[in-house]
Amino acid sequence: MGIALIWCLALILIRWITSKEFLFSYSKECVTIMYIVGVNIDVRVRSRAGFETERRGSHPYIDFRIFHSNSEIEVSVSARNVRRLLSFQRYLRSSRFFRGITVPNSSNILDDDYNGQAKCMLEKVGNWNFDIFLFDRLTNGNSLVSLTFHLFNLHGLIEHFQLDTMKLRRFLVMVQEDYHSQNPYHNAVHAADVTQAMHCYLKEPKLSKSLTPWDVLLSLIAAATHDLDHPGVNQPFLIKTNHYLATLYKNTSVLENHHWRSAVGLLRESGLFAHMSLENRQLMESQIGDLILATDISQQNEYLSMFRSHLDRGDLCLENANHRHFILQMALKCADICNPCRTWELSKQWSEKVTEEFFHQGDIEKKYHLGVSPLCDRQTETIANIQIGFMTYLVEPLFGEWARFSNTRLSQTMLGHLGLNKASWKGVQREQSGSGDDVDPAFEEMDSDILPQEPRLS
């Protein structure tokens, strides 16, 4: 241990000389953690709560060599072997990061005295017009770590739950790294955007005076991890390619289950709540799962019907823990698809990114003769058509009910932006086609009772 400590201190000195920037305050505990991570590269995080979490780095890797030029799908490469290879690579990257060795494109942790502009932005983190794209640039691609750490501190969670700040930083870095930066939409910036939106909802009068620190803690963790390790393709794609995750979760909320189990794995690996009782940790993991699973867009009508029924009866009581938890589920659903409710400048960027991801999936499906999923064909779809349908069938009903629950200035602002953005896309649509159609046919064909899983925007 003494040699390891001397080696670590030498690396710190070298980094200080070359960059004059400390990433962490190293301690004996840190050296121990680095030793464990560096040596036990292929460790599984075992469950003490009744299930085995997803191994860190075991993301749903898609190896397209398994496809032939015809429509048949044969798995020629073992998913297990691919998963182990990717696990090794990502653990190695992680261990290098925590040893202080520079890794190309790695995320840098910035201290509280980082870029003054980013710090100034965080002072207005509760504003609905918060520009997450600008914040991500100002933090050198570190928006999720910086924003979430700040919110933990702002809500007093670090002090209330006696959290080790180094473990918290480490957990957030692992979360950020396990989002795929190559995804145009489902990446760490989207997670940071959802977390910022969730913070705005937590500040709403009905919620702020009723929520406990436990509720806030669950909400922020769930928001930050709700799309963890997203592969950039939707559930039907995983099912029709016989992906191991589809089999593991029996074709039900495949991505959401993976996001949840991956988040639990990182919580355990980081030891962030190791000082809590096992009972509390198990409760936390279960309730985070409830929140993340609620973001499955295929369950939209089910949650919306329950929400509408509660509002019609007027029986929501936020002193009831179960009712608070349900409202947090609805809040996370709103945060997840709130892009059309942002300003046009922000909303348009998100629309372009999610459509790019859809079209990329469609290109792959065409290449391997898999049958192009709805909304994924760049030859027949447009951003305007997709967005108008999305707003009409998914966003407007949800935010209309949320405004009934919390009729505040923020709710009216969101509905105002939603209306203006929809009108703007209709204008774009008219310019492109010259027709009066304002709804994408893929949305018109949606069943009135059950929403399809293809337009997975969360």
262-275 tens-digit pLDDT: 999 999 999 999 99
254 labeled binding residue? no
Q: Is residue 259 annotated as a catalytic residue, yes or no? A: no
The rounded percent of the chain whose pLDDT value lies above 70 is 69
Phi, psi of 67 (to 5 degrees): -95, 145
Give dist(CA 148, CA 150) in Å, integer. Answer: 5
Mean pLDDT, residues 242-264: 97
User: What confidence tens digit (pLDDT) does each residue in 136-181 have?
Assistant: 999 999 999 999 999 999 999 999 999 999 999 999 999 999 999 9
Structure tokens at 28: 């004996």
Mean pLDDT, residues 317-329: 98
The confidence score (pLDDT) of residue 12 equals: 62
Whether 116 has a pLDDT exceeding 60, the answer reads: yes
Give dist(CA 361, CA 380) in Å, integer. Answer: 14
188 labeled binding residue? yes
More confident residue, 452 or 173: 173
User: What confidence tens digit (pLDDT) does each residue in 340-385 have?
Assistant: 999 999 999 999 999 999 999 999 999 999 999 999 999 999 999 9
387 labeled binding residue? yes
234 labeled binding residue? no
Structure tokens at 65: 């060599």
The residue whose two tokens read 């209709």 is 426
The confidence score (pLDDT) of residue 433 equals: 82
The confidence score (pLDDT) of residue 438 equals: 53
List the catalytic residue out of 59, 150, 155, 186.
186
The confidence score (pLDDT) of residue 57 equals: 53
Whether 78 has a pLDDT exceeding 80, the answer reads: no
Alpha-carbon distances of 25 from 3, 12, 174, 192, 453, rounded to whole Å = 18, 10, 18, 25, 45
Give dist(CA 56, CA 279) in Å, integer. Answer: 23
125 labeled binding residue? no
Whether 105 has a pLDDT exceeding 80, the answer reads: no
Do 173 and 338 contact (CB within 8 A), yes or no? no
Do 71 and 369 contact (CB within 8 A), yes or no? yes
The confidence score (pLDDT) of residue 326 equals: 98
The confidence score (pLDDT) of residue 1 equals: 60
113 labeled binding residue? no
Whether 73 has a pLDDT exceeding 50, the answer reads: no
Q: Start-end ranges of CATH 1.10.1300.10 in the chain?
A: 119-444
Whether 193 has a pLDDT exceeding 50, the answer reads: yes
In the CATH hierarchy, which top-level class contains the domain 119-444?
mainly alpha
Whether 251 has a pLDDT exceeding 60, the answer reads: yes
190 labeled binding residue? yes
The rounded percent of the chain whose pLDDT value lies above 90 is 69
Whether 22 has a pLDDT exceeding 60, the answer reads: no
